[in-house]
């Protein structure tokens, strides 16, 4: 039997190739027919960052059976880490031309830089914090929750409470993160002007590359022995415990890994969107990510990516035409998907392919819940 490559590998290749083509077309002169405007490049980078978040949610919901309603917290923490670096990059080009303090600190009469801002004048440190802070928070939260055997709807509510608590904390001006206005007015990254087409094109390609690497690494993890244990915990946790494994340790590992991915996605998101504020912690953002995964197909790797891209593209179109009806449309989409496409678009594809060629094996190398 000829073994086909996993669908996640094909998805990674397609996303990377499409992003690179889009980035190259954006560098053409504006008079050219194939020129892609800068705002399209920015939207594509934003969608791919959301796709990374969707993948992170799917790893814990689709493969570990943990319905998380708080992954926006890890996404936002990664974004704030990158935003702090970008604020430090402004230097004397800010409104107050203060080389030591960001503009919002000068406005609030801060006299010195808080200790937790030290090191953010270096990009490498910011990238490290973008994955380390969400990872440490996820490890602490997951250790306490899984050790106490909190599961089901109770765990979902606790994750939502976590992100809401961070939302309230970051709204405070005395926290040192810009309060309700957040961090914005970024100028450059590593010396490259963020408003230049070449920089935007490079950021889009880097985001696509990171997403592709996340897909490949996730597929390798899920195809390993640990991946089999993860699915066993999802489908029969008590049985897995009775044969000598520790389900809390197995769930904690994928929980931390998904938080790291989400933080990385948040860091890439902020660079291309140009702002980060406490609204990114909103529980509604976590719920939207769950909808992306449900629409695309949880328990797969490329389904959440497809769902994130399609839903956010629809959101861009719909909010421009009928902005007041978007939330109703999003709710209706989730209800209709739950009723008629419980396995998402990927499940529909598999059903059509199975009906057309019943003798063929799926061959995707992925597990459907």
Residue 227 resides in a domain: yes
pLDDT (0 to 100) of residue 361: 44
Instruction: State the pLDDT confidence band at 1, using cuts at 50, 70 and 90.
Output: very low
Residue 1 resides in a domain: no
Digit-coded pLDDT (tens) for 151-177: 889 999 999 999 999 999 999 999 999
Lowest mean pLDDT among 10-24, 159-173, 245-259: 10-24
Give 69's contacts (C-beta < 8 A, 6+ positions apart). 156, 157, 159, 160, 163, 283, 286, 287, 290
Dihedral over alpha carbons 65, 265, 70, 315 (to 10 degrees): -100
Lowest mean pLDDT among 65-74, 131-140, 186-195, 327-336: 327-336
Residue 362 resides in a domain: no
Digit-coded pLDDT (tens) for 37-48: 999 999 999 999
pLDDT (0 to 100) of residue 253: 97
Question: Shortest CA distance to 71 belongs to which of 162, 144, 149?
Answer: 162
Q: Is the pLDDT of residue 208 over 90?
A: yes
Provide the domain limits for residue 265.
7-356
* Pairwise CA distance, residues 34 & 292, whole Å: 30
Instruction: State the pLDDT confidence band at 130, using cuts at 50, 70 and 90.
Output: very high
Residue 338 resides in a domain: yes
* Pairwise CA distance, residues 349 & 295, whole Å: 12
The number of distinct structural domains making up the chain is 1
- Strand-pairing partners, residue 120, are none
pLDDT (0 to 100) of residue 22: 93
Q: Is the pLDDT of residue 149 over 80?
A: yes
Instruction: State the pLDDT confidence band at 350, using cuts at 50, 70 and 90.
Output: low
Give 54's contacts (C-beta < 8 A, 6+ positions apart). 289, 292, 293, 296, 304, 305, 307, 308
Instruction: State the pLDDT confidence band at 353, using cuts at 50, 70 and 90.
Output: low
Phi and psi angles of residue 276, each rounded to the nearest 5 degrees, phi first: -145, 130
* Pairwise CA distance, residues 196 & 48, whole Å: 20
* Pairwise CA distance, residues 31 & 23, whole Å: 16
Q: Between the CA of residue 211 and those of 82, 202, 304, what are the distances in Å?
A: 17, 14, 12
Q: Is the pLDDT of residue 360 over 70?
A: no
Instruction: State the pLDDT confidence band at 365, using cuts at 50, 70 and 90.
Output: very low
Q: What percent of the chain has pLDDT over 70?
A: 93
CA-based torsion, 4, 5, 10, 13: positive or negative: negative
State which H helix or E strand residue 276 sits in: strand 275-276
Average pLDDT over residues 286-313: 93
Instruction: State the pLDDT confidence band at 265, using cuts at 50, 70 and 90.
Output: very high
The tokens for 35 are 């020129």
pLDDT (0 to 100) of residue 288: 94
Residue 363 resides in a domain: no
Residue 264 resides in a domain: yes
User: Could you give the 3-state DSSP secondary structure of residue 275?
Assistant: strand
pLDDT (0 to 100) of residue 46: 96
Digit-coded pLDDT (tens) for 301-325: 999 999 999 999 998 888 888 788 8
Mean per-residue pLDDT over the chain, rounded: 89
Residue 146 resides in a domain: yes
pLDDT (0 to 100) of residue 367: 47
Q: Which residue has the higher pLDDT, 273 or 329?
A: 273
DSSP 180-212: GG-EE---EETTEETTSHHHHHHHHHHHHHHHH
* Pairwise CA distance, residues 5 & 70, whole Å: 33
Q: Is the pLDDT of residue 359 over 70?
A: no
pLDDT (0 to 100) of residue 327: 80
pTM, entire model: 0.92
Please report which residue ranges of the chain form alpha helices under DSSP H: 7-26, 38-61, 71-90, 103-107, 123-147, 152-170, 197-222, 225-235, 237-242, 247-273, 283-296, 302-321, 326-340, 344-356
Residue 107 resides in a domain: yes
């Amino acid at each position: 039997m000829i073994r086909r490559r996993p669908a996640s590998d094909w998805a990674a290749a397609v996303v990377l190739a499409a992003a690179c083509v889009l980035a190259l077309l954006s560098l053409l002169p504006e008079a050219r027919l194939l020129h892609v405007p800068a705002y399209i490049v920015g939207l594509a980078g934003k969608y791919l960052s959301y796709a990374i978040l969707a993948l992170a949610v799917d790893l814990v919901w689709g493969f570990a059976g943990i319905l998380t309603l708080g992954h926006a917290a890890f996404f936002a923490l990664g974004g704030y880490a990158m935003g702090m670096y970008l604020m430090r990059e402004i230097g004397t080009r800010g409104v107050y031309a203060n080389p030591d303090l960001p503009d919002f600190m000068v406005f609030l009469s801060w006299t010195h830089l808080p200790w937790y801002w030290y090191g953010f004048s270096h990009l490498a440190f910011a990238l490290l914090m973008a994955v380390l802070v969400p990872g440490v928070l996820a490890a602490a939260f997951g250790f306490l929750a899984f050790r106490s055997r909190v599961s089901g709807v109770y765990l979902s509510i606790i994750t939502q409470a976590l992100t809401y608590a961070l939302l309230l904390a970051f709204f405070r001006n005395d926290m040192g993160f810009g309060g309700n206005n957040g961090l914005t007015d970024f100028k450059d990254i590593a010396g490259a002007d963020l408003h230049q087409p070449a920089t935007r094109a490079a950021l889009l390609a880097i985001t696509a590359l990171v997403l592709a690497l996340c897909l490949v690494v996730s597929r390798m993890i899920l195809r390993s022995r640990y991946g089999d244990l993860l699915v066993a915990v999802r489908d029969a946790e008590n049985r897995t415990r009775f044969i000598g494994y520790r389900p809390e340790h197995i769930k904690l590992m994928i929980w931390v890994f998904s938080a790291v991915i989400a933080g990385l996605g948040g860091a890439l998101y902020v660079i291309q969107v140009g702002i980060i504020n406490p609204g990114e912690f909103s529980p509604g953002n976590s719920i939207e990510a769950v909808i992306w995964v449900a629409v695309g197909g949880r328990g797969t790797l490329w389904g959440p990516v497809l769902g994130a891209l399609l839903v956010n593209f629809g959101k861009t179109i719909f909010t421009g035409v009928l902005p007041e009806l978007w939330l109703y449309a999003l709710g209706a989409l989730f209800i209709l998907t739950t009723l008629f496409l419980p396995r998402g678009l990927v499940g529909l594809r598999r059903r059509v392919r199975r009906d057309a060629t019943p003798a063929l094996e799926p061959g995707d190398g992925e597990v459907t819940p």
